[in-house]
Structure 1
Amino acid sequence: MSRQLISRNPDLARLEAEGYDVSVEGGFLVVRGVPFVDAARRVRRGLVISRLDLAGDRTIKPRDHFVWFAGGEPCDALGRPIGEMVNGRARSNLGGGLIGEYMLCSRAVGGEYPDFHAKITTFVNQVTAHVHVIDPTATARSGHVVAAPVGRSPFAYVDTASSRHGIGAFSDRLAGQSIGIVGLGGTGGYVLDLVAKCPVSRIHLFDDDRMEQHNAFRAPGAASIDDLRGLPSKVAHFEAIYSRMHVGIVAHEERLDRANLHMLDHLDFVFLCVDSAASRSLLVAEMERRGLPFVDVGIGMQATAEGLLGTVRVTTVTPDMPHAGRPHPRIPMEAILEDDPYGSAAQVADLNSLAATLAVMRWKRRAGFYLDLAGEHHSVFTVDGNHILGEDHAVGAGS
């Protein structure tokens, strides 16, 4: 992807053609081999790292006037920090192995840089101007071209959100996981919408139903009338949409049952979004037996004269919980009675999306993307009071 982005954008291609050691890594434009003077008046080489602003696979005008510098603190020819540029040490883990050490700021003439060639060359020239007092031959234009980073990105285009907002190091904690989503009727589709924006390696979808018209009114996005006329499978429908963004989506047009439980073998985490008590009972028992962590979600609605009552349940099961090794008591396993809060099959999009959001946030807290102080493994949201009750806290978590 690094090579393709560079070749498709004149400003990046110009940097490469001029001999800069340039690459695109995790939403950042990186230039290596930039000579600078250190505090001992020695000439060394470092990295200039800039956020990369994109529209698809095309660069747009840079939105800021700073870069990170790594490899040491740039100084003038006398070994003094370049005060007008260096805003002091600002070590930042940018993700993907990139560490910014110093923040350099320099406004463009006219206030904005027209493109990334102008931005990068401005910073490089300002740093190397001090180098030329000591070594007039030193240059960042080495002619060396860096190969694309090792490993394939799970995205069809660069994740500039993580780099733009400085959360790449936390996104890295989600990388490489193989995620299963069982059931794509309502909540599962919203789970996919959120997980597809994470750098997991694979997202396996399991459902044997068709995408019918009523499903469109509680699923993410907007299915076209032509989509519905074709009556595609749910997994095929969602795979076609989200593969535009995430290249690791795998559709399985089948229901998980005793005959194909081996499909759980290579999963790291599962979102269980089914309304069948029999399927839930089988899968919960199997995943607990395997020690495979998962989140099970449930939605309940009841009609009253004043309006609908609604509840959302999110239950997380992990090997370190005291319930591990037997069916989790918080998850309904038997056929649901008509007067049970979960007895209604009615669902609406906002509750489906909320259930998915709570479930995905719980997974992200477990992975360390979000700080998790309470470690609750069971929560229930009630619509009428707008309350969330969290229970089953991990040992040592919470107050």
Structure 2
Amino acid sequence: MSRLLISRNPELQRLINEGFEIEIRSGYLLVHSVPYATSNKQVAHGVIVSELTMATPDVLGRPSTHQVHFIGEHPCKADGTDLVQIRCQSTEFKLAEGITAQHHFSNKPKCGYYENYYEKITSYVRVISGQAKALDPSADARTFRTREPIEENSVFLYQDTASSRAGIQRLAARFCQQRIAFVGLGGTGSYALDLVAKTHAAEIHLFDADMLRPHNAFRFPGAISREILDRGITKVKYLSEHYATMRRGIVPHEVMIHVDNVMELARFDYVFLCADRGEVRHLVLRALADTGVTVIDVGMGLNLSHDQESIWGTCRVTVSTPSTRDIALTRIPKVDRDEELYASNIQVADFNCLNAALAVAKWKRMSGFYLNDHDEYETTFSVNLNQLSRLEQQ
């Protein structure tokens, strides 16, 4: 991916042609061997780290910020005093796996922005290395050394610059070893998949045998064309094809989960249980009771008011871990009432989306991506009360 970006972006190629030692890793542009003056009037070498903003998956846009990070000591003037001209903040910045910076610099041009990355990098190099040249005229960031690109095993077909721009690549990588399963890909399941597919989860397996029908188009994220509906394909086939344009690792299984195949779920780290039948939920929970799998069950029930002028109801997220198996079973509806609510067919995309977002947020908290101050096993939202509540173990 680094080679492709360099070959399609003249500004990066120009940096290489002029001798700068650049590397692209985890959505960042790294410029190595940048000489700078230290507080004891010596010349040392550090690394400038810049975000990368993409106009298309292969072509850079204009830098989104005039700031950079720096790996090394804080650069000084030739007399050993701090180079306060660029000082912004100094602390430990864990940007991505293997990329930890110590400083954040700001060198804003008069117009307020850099037109391209060549301009941005050479501007910082001039400011930082100019003081080193005063101590040693041979000090130069243009080493003409090449760095072999690190081929990262990303599931994505293009750089995840959303994480690098936010400085959360290291946190985003916490999902990269996980294997996820979805049981049921209706309205809530499809929205949950949409959110999980945009993480670095290694594998995402989809279990559902239902055909893709016109009513699904009104409950799924995005828009489904009539041409796709006319193909007569399953929901999981459509979803796997749709997300294959962005990433690898989504595997469709055109089957329903039943007693003969339920133990296939034991090989996953997390199972999102989005089925609309109570007996399937309980089958999965009981089958996985003695495993280490975390099951995140979602459910919603919407009802017409007595005067049939409005809708009320709740959505629920219940988590079953090895320590909450028994209590989770008591909280998840088994058959009758839950299936009656689904049979009434009152589902709306915004509630499907909310239910999914609550489930995915819980998964991310359990994975350490979000701070997790409360270890609740169930969260519910009431639409008519506009109230979110949680249940925790006593």
Shared topology, TM-score over 0.5?
yes
Q: 1:43 to 1:266 in 2, by over 3 A?
A: farther
Q: Which amino acid aligns with 1:374?
A: H
Query: Per the alignment, in what secondary structure is the counterpart of residue 377 of structure 1?
Result: strand
Structure 1 residue 129: Cα displacement = 1.1
Query: Per the alignment, in what secondary structure is the counterpart of residue 289 of structure 1?
Result: coil
Query: Per the alignment, in what secondary structure is the counterpart of residue 80 of structure 2?
Result: coil
Q: 1:339 to 1:63 in 2, by over 3 A?
A: closer
CA distance in 2, matches of 1:321, 1:283: 14
- RMSD of aligned residue pairs (Cα, Å): 2.0
Counting matched residue pairs gives 391
Name which of structure 1's ranges 215-224 and 195-204 shifts more when overlaid on structure 2: 195-204
2:231 counterpart residue number: 230
Residue 123 of structure 2 is aligned to residue 122 of structure 1: yes
Contact 1:300 1:345 in 2 (8 A): no
Name which of structure 1's ranges 192-201 and 336-345 shifts more when overlaid on structure 2: 336-345
Structure 1 residue 167: Cα displacement = 2.5
Structure 1 residue 329: Cα displacement = 1.0
Q: 1:125 to 1:368 in 2, by over 3 A?
A: same
CA distance in 2, matches of 1:342, 1:379: 20
Alignment of 1:87-166 (within 5 A): 87-166=88-167
Q: 1:339 to 1:286 in 2, by over 3 A?
A: closer
1:362 counterpart residue number: 362
Q: Which amino acid aligns with 1:313?
A: R
Structure 1 residue 150: Cα displacement = 4.9
Deviations along 1:115-137, one digit per CA (max 9) or x if unpaired, are: 10110111112211111122222
Consecutive unaligned residues in structure 2, runs of 5 or more:
none
CA distance in 1, matches of 2:266, 2:208: 17
Structure 1 residue 266: Cα displacement = 3.3
1:280 counterpart residue number: 281
Q: 1:204 to 1:338 in 2, by over 3 A?
A: closer
Name which of structure 1's ranges 114-123 and 143-152 shifts more when overlaid on structure 2: 143-152
CA distance in 2, matches of 1:124, 1:251: 49
Q: 1:292 to 1:3 in 2, by over 3 A?
A: same
Q: 1:18 to 1:80 in 2, by over 3 A?
A: same
1:253 counterpart residue number: 254
Deviations along 1:76-105, one digit per CA (max 9) or x if unpaired, are: 222221111123414321122211211222
CA distance in 2, matches of 1:204, 1:145: 40
Deviations along 1:1-51, one digit per CA (max 9) or x if unpaired, are: 222112211111221222222122222111112111211222211110011
Contact 1:210 1:233 in 2 (8 A): yes
Q: 1:99 to 1:215 in 2, by over 3 A?
A: same
CA distance in 1, matches of 2:182, 2:367: 17
Q: Which amino acid aligns with 1:122?
A: S
Q: Which amino acid aligns with 1:359?
A: A
CA distance in 2, matches of 1:273, 1:163: 31
Alignment of 1:321-360 (within 5 A): 321=324, 323=326, 328-333=329-334, 335-337=335-337, 344-360=344-360
Deviations along 1:182-209, one digit per CA (max 9) or x if unpaired, are: 1111111101111111111111111111
Q: Which amino acid aligns with 1:5?
A: L
Identity %: 38
Q: 1:25 to 1:390 in 2, by over 3 A?
A: same
Q: 1:343 to 1:207 in 2, by over 3 A?
A: closer
CA distance in 1, matches of 2:337, 2:321: 28
CA distance in 2, matches of 1:2, 1:277: 48
CA distance in 2, matches of 1:141, 1:314: 55
Contact 1:36 1:74 in 2 (8 A): yes
CA distance in 2, matches of 1:55, 1:323: 50
Residue 314 of structure 2 is aligned to residue 314 of structure 1: no
CA distance in 1, matches of 2:265, 2:146: 42
Query: Per the alignment, in what secondary structure is the counterpart of residue 359 of structure 1?
Result: helix
Q: 1:102 to 1:338 in 2, by over 3 A?
A: closer
CA distance in 2, matches of 1:143, 1:231: 57
Contact 1:337 1:343 in 2 (8 A): no
Contact 1:271 1:295 in 2 (8 A): yes
1:5 counterpart residue number: 5
